[in-house]
Every structure is written in structure tokens, then in C-alpha cells.
């Protein structure tokens, strides 16, 4: 695939808030730079870059030029010698449209309903996956399976990753409600309940169906036995659907997200909130009844995403925290304190390590409800983790919290998850450095990176155009479905396309915008969701 020449000067291709720090990153060239007004063509700012410094992840020397003093709204680009950057804006509220697009993507991920042209534009398609699903370990049982979001570039649906995505969106709404005032719009838009809650409810209604009525446990996933071809549209994927067996990790995630939803939705719909809480309690009881459960493994004839996870302490910890925060019942508090004493990651936010959500739930509640010693211990640990990330940011040429080893499959999720943690640290401490560093992570995602690419389809001067995403490949629309976060550089080169084209590249350059690159250029709901959270903090 032919790709455009990379620019040596990289910027956030969306723009910069008026009063925030603003900088351009230059690879391989230092000196005097100018900021040029895009309309008049006249320089409005001149500065000097710092000295070039080697950047291991980028595989080259880089420097930055600061133009924070420029706080005049407008459209600009940067020049240094014969190099120019992408255009960008300086504005009071530059990320509003990006935020809307990242959130609207969840509507475009919907399964089981018509995506009408009114709301989906040229990416409309007919309802899909309408047949009942078969319970894998009891083929006589058929269950309604419609609704929810497709997980990724395929059409599978997974309880744990879906719960993570909903949790990110609900946290974003809880902490930054101002960002969700404008309608998207979507079919449910009513001017009363924020659209983010309408959209999350679409997934939550599906998650109810993933709870086994017989036991209260949660089915691990709902998929066909194998993935369809890459050009198959969702309504043409007619293979049989299966509810794969109950797992402890899925059940813990369902308990956590339903308890959280009960709290968030109560001011808007008490009946729905009660239903969520009942589901959470039933799932929690299943966890109590099944203290030792092996991790989920795909049956031999299933080839869809496994999302295997041997460790379920983190999901149980999250469930206990949310149930305690929502109900105030000391029984859940007792379980949470016992789980907190166990050894597992308590500040991670990935689908396999959900402990961070339990920690956030405990720290963000009314402190009078918690145990002071435990609150202080968890807060100190979170701030220590944030300081570790801050040290990585300071050493990194692009200002983000990834070391060379962190450019893994889904590295952009790691980028956004870590920015989430920095923003929670800011919320709890008031330390401005965490907020500023989180903003640098948005700049990276939106183009201020070694490849000079916006990792969000449809946004920026040079966005991803060929994601590994079946509707984007299978439809007749030239542009991909917009608002999707690509997985990002992956030094593991875990697919044939990457192996063929990216041998010898530096970690942060191990990315190719090719639909065949599922290990770098796929999209998922749980890569979009932390991006929504982070961007929402900076939307007025």
C-alpha cells in the first residue's frame, strides 16, 4: 500500500485549547520555527526548538517547539525550514466534534437494529444477527440474542470487554457531565436523558441477555463459531450464534457494570436502575457460590476471540466496590476489603485487568463511607502509579507514558487507559501536571506521533483510512466508518501484513494503515471508550 510521505513536523491535527500548553514535535531537525496563520499566510509566532534528543521508541532524534504563548483562536500550521506541519486550530473548545464522533461510533457499532441513513449517514445498513442464539453447552436451549454493540472489526460480542466500554462511558459522564449536553443525535435522543446514557443502555439491555437465568452467572461471549470473511456486511453474516459458557471474569464484570449503572441511571429511570441492581446482585451471588473457577478457554470448534483470563480477583474486586458504592451495604464492603488484601493489579484498566475500576469506585465514593486506612493506601498507590507514568512522559520525546516495550497489540488502548489514570489522579489530587500530561496523550492519538497519523478514522488531516473493520471494508463507501480508534503500533508484528511490511521498524513506527493488519489496525469498542473518557475531560 502506498502511504503519504511522513512530515517531520507533527502536531495535534485537531488542535489545542486556548490556554493549554501547545507544542510541535520535530523529528531529525531543530532550529527556528514559525506558526503561520492558515488564512492570511502570515507568521504569528516565532520560536526555537529545543535540542534534538534520541527517542528510543521513535527510533530517531526528536525535539519540541513550544508556542503556548499563542492564544488567539484560528487555524494555523507550523513551518521549520522547508517542512510544514498539518493544519490545526487553536480554539476555546477544539475537541467537541471529536468527542461527538468518538461517542457516535458506538451507535455505528450497534447490532440487531437498522442503522438508518438519518443517523448513520452513508454508513447505514440493515438490521443484523436477529436469530436466537444456542447455548453452547445445552444445545436444546435457544435464547434471544439481539442488541448490543459489535466488539471490534468482527461481529462477536463479549461480556467483559463490553462491560469495560460501558464503565468508561459511565465514568466519563459521572466526572464530566458538561461534555455530554449536546445531542449526537441517535434514535433515542429526547432532550431529557443524555445520549451517552441512551447509548450505554443499548449495550446494557444486551448484557441482561448474557446473564444465565438458570444460575445468575454471565455467558462469556456470543459469537458464531468462526469469523466471517473481511468483506461481509453484518446483515449478511447468517451463521449460527452461540452463547459460550459462563465464566467468573464475565460474571464479575457484569456485576460491576450493572451496580455502576444502577447508580448512574437512578435519577433518570428508577425501574431500570432497580433492574440493573438486581442483575448485579444475582451475579454477585454466583461469584460467592463459585469461589474457584478455571479461566475461560475456547471450545475446540470455536475460533472467535477468546478473551481468556485466568485471574478473576480483579473482576470480583470491581464488583464488590461498585455494589458497596451503590448500596452502602457493609457486606460488600467486607468482601471488598478482603479482596483488596489479595495480590493482583489494582490500577489497570484493560479487559483482562479490571482492578482499576474497583479502585476508582472506592476512591470516588463519599469518603465518609470508606475505611480511612484503605482509602489512603489506595490513593497513595494510585498517585504513585501516576508519578511513574509522569516520569515516562517526561523522558518520552512525544510526551506519552509508553516505553518501547509498551507498543503492543492495542497500544492506543494503553495510551488512553493511562491518560484515564492520570486524569483520575488529577481529580483526586488537584495536581495540574497530571492533567497536562493526559492532554499530551490526546495530541499523540490525533497526530503528534512518529507516523504523523491521526489514529481516529474521519478526524484530522491524515486519519486512518483502511481499518480492519468489516463494515468499512464491505460497504461501498470510500471513507471508513468515522470515529473509530485504531489499535496502533505493535512491535510484536502479530499479523502477516505487519510482518511483511514493518520488519526493522522502531516500536512506535510498527503500524500500517492496511485492512489486513488486524494486529495493528483493527478497532474495538474498548479502545474507543477510554478515548471518550479522556477527551470528555477537555470538552466544555
Q: Which residue do the cell numbers 468508561 mark? A: 168
Q: Residues 283, 256: contact at Cβ < 8 Å?
A: no
Of 312, 315, 406, 513, the catalytic one is: 513
**What per-residue confidence (pLDDT) applies to 266?**
98
Distances (CA, A) of 194 to 177, 442, 478: 9, 24, 32
**CB-CB contact of 14 with 55 (8 Å):** no
- Asked if residues 220 and 286 have their Cβ atoms less than 8 Å apart, the reply is no
253 Cβ neighbours under 8 A, 6+ residues apart: 159, 160, 163, 164, 218, 315, 318, 319, 354
* 160 and 250 Cβ atoms separated by less than 8 Å: yes
Among 315, 353, 515, 522, the one annotated catalytic: 522
What are the grid coordinates assigned to 112, written together? 440487531
Domains present along the chain, CATH in parentheses: 96-370 (1.50.10.10)
User: Is 513 an active-site residue?
Assistant: yes
Degrees to nearest 5, angle at CA 117 with 110 and 126: 50
DSSP string, 100-128: HHHHHHHHHTB-SS-B-HHHHGGG-B---
pLDDT tens digits in sequence order for the chain, 540 residues long: 334 567 899 999 999 999 999 999 999 999 999 999 999 999 999 999 999 999 999 999 999 999 999 999 999 999 999 999 999 999 999 999 999 999 999 999 999 999 999 999 999 999 999 999 999 999 999 999 999 999 999 999 999 999 999 999 999 999 999 999 999 999 999 999 999 999 999 999 999 999 999 999 999 999 999 999 999 999 999 999 999 999 999 999 999 999 999 999 999 999 999 999 999 999 999 999 999 999 999 999 999 999 999 999 999 999 999 999 999 999 999 999 999 999 999 999 999 999 999 999 999 998 889 999 999 999 999 999 999 999 999 999 999 999 999 999 999 999 999 999 999 999 999 999 999 999 999 999 999 999 999 999 999 999 999 999 999 999 999 999 999 999 999 999 999 999 999 999 999 999 999 999 999 999 999 999 999 999 999 999
Report how far residue 275's alpha carbon sits from residue 208's, in angstroms, rounded to the nearest whole number. Answer: 9
Cell numbers 496502533 correspond to 488
**Per-residue confidence (pLDDT) for residue 2, from 0 to 100:** 39
Is residue 194 helix, strand or coil? coil
Q: What is the rounded CA–CA span in Å between residue 508 and residue 217?
A: 40
CB count within 10 Å of CB 405 equals 9
Considering the entire predicted model, what is its pTM? 0.98
State the DSSP string of 288-341: HH-SS-PPP---TT--S-----S--HHHHHHHHHHHHHHH--HHHHHHHHHHHT
- Inter-residue contact 102 to 26 (CB < 8 Å): no
pLDDT in tens, 286-323: 999 999 999 999 999 999 999 999 999 999 999 999 99
Measured CA distances, 172 to 141, 179, 197, 268, 325 (Å): 38, 9, 11, 17, 17
* DSSP states of 137-152: T-TT-EE----SB--B
Catalytic residue list contains 495: no
In angstroms, what CA-CA distances link 277 with 153, 306, 331?
31, 28, 15
pLDDT digits (tens, 9 = 90+) for 429-480: 999 999 999 999 999 999 999 999 999 999 999 999 999 999 999 999 999 9
Cα 221 from Cα 73, distance rounded (Å): 48
Three-class DSSP labels, 63-98 = EEEECCCCCCCEEEEEEECCEECCCEEEECCCCHHH
Amino acid at each position: 500500500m502506498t502511504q503519504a510521505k511522513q512530515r517531520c513536523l507533527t502536531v495535534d491535527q485537531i488542535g489545542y485549547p486556548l490556554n493549554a500548553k501547545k507544542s510541535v514535535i520535530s523529528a531529525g531537525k531543530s532550529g527556528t520555527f514559525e506558526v503561520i496563520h492558515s488564512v492570511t499566510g502570515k507568521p504569528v509566532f516565532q520560536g526555537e526548538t529545543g535540542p534534538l534528543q534520541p527517542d528510543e521508541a521513535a527510533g530517531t532524534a526528536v525535539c519540541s517547539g513550544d508556542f503556548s504563548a499563542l492564544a488567539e483562536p484560528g487555524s494555523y500550521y507550523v513551518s521549520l525550514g522547508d517542512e510544514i506541519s498539518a493544519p490545526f486550530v487553536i480554539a476555546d473548545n477544539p475537541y467537541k466534534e471529536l468527542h461527538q464522533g468518538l461517542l457516535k461510533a458506538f451507535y455505528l457499532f450497534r447490532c440487531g437494529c437498522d442503522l438508518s441513513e438519518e443517523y448513520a449517514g452513508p454508513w447505514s445498513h440493515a438490521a443484523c444477527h436477529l436469530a436466537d442464539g444456542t447455548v453452547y453447552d445445552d444445545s436444546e436451549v435457544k435464547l434471544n440474542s439481539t442488541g448490543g454493540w459489535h466488539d471490534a472489526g468482527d461481529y462477536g460480542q463479549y461480556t467483559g470487554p463490553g462491560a469495560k466500554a460501558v464503565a468508561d462511558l459511565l465514568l466519563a459522564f459521572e466526572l464530566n457531565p458538561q461534555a455530554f449536553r449536546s445531542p449526537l443525535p441517535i434514535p433515542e435522543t429526547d432532550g431529557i436523558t443524555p445520549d451517552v446514557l441512551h447509548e450505554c443502555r443499548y449495550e446494557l439491555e444486551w448484557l441482561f441477555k448474557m446473564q444465565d437465568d438458570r444460575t445468575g452467572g454471565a455467558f462469556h461471549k456470543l459469537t458464531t463459531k468462526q469469523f466471517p470473511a473481511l468483506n461481509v456486511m453484518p446483515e449478511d453474516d447468517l451463521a449460527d450464534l452461540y452463547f459460550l459458557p459462563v465464566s467468573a471474569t464475565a460474571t464479575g464484570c457484569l456485576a460491576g457494570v450493572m451496580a455502576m449503572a444502577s447508580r448512574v441511571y437512578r435519577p433518570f429511570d428508577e425501574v431500570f436502575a432497580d433492574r440493573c441492581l438486581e442483575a448485579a446482585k444475582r451475579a454477585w451471588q454466583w461469584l460467592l457460590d463459585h469461589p474457584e473457577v478455571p479461566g475461560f478457554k475456547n471450545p475446540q470448534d470455536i475460533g472467535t476471540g477468546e478473551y481468556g483470563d485466568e485471574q478473576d480477583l480483579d473482576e470480583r474486586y470491581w464488583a464488590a466496590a461498585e455494589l458497596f458504592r451503590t448500596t452502602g451495604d457493609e457486606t460488600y464492603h467486607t468482601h471488598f476489603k478482603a479482596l483488596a488484601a489479595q495480590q493482583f493489579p489494582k490500577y489497570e484498566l484493560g479487559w483482562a485487568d479490571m482492578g482499576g475500576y474497583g479502585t476508582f469506585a472506592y476512591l470516588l465514593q463519599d469518603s465518609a463511607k470508606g475505611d480511612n486506612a484503605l482509602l489512603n493506601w489506595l490513593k497513595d498507590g494510585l498517585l504513585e502509579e501516576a508519578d511513574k507514568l509522569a516520569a515516562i512522559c517526561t523522558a518520552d520525546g512525544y510526551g506519552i507514558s509508553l516505553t518501547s516495550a509498551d507498543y503492543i497489540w492495542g497500544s492506543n488502548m494503553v495510551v488512553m487507559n493511562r491518560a484515564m489514570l492520570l486524569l483520575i489522579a488529577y481529580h483526586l489530587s488537584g495536581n495540574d501536571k497530571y492533567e497536562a500530561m493526559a492532554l499530551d496523550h490526546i495530541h499523540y492519538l490525533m497526530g503528534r506521533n512518529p507516523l504523523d497519523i491521526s489514529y481516529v478514522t474521519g478526524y484530522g488531516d491524515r486519519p486512518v483510512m483502511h481499518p480492519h473493520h468489516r463494515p468499512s471494508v464491505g460497504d461501498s463507501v470510500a471513507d471508513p466508518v468515522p470515529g473509530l480508534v485504531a489499535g496502533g503500533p505493535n512491535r510484536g508484528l502479530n499479523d502477516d501484513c505487519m510482518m511483511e511490511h514493518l520488519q526493522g521498524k522502531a516500536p512506535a513506527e510498527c503500524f500500517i494503515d492496511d485492512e489486513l493488519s488486524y494486529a495493528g489496525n483493527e478497532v474495538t469498542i474498548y479502545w474507543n471508550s477510554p478515548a471518550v473518557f479522556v477527551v470528555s475531560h477537555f470538552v466544555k
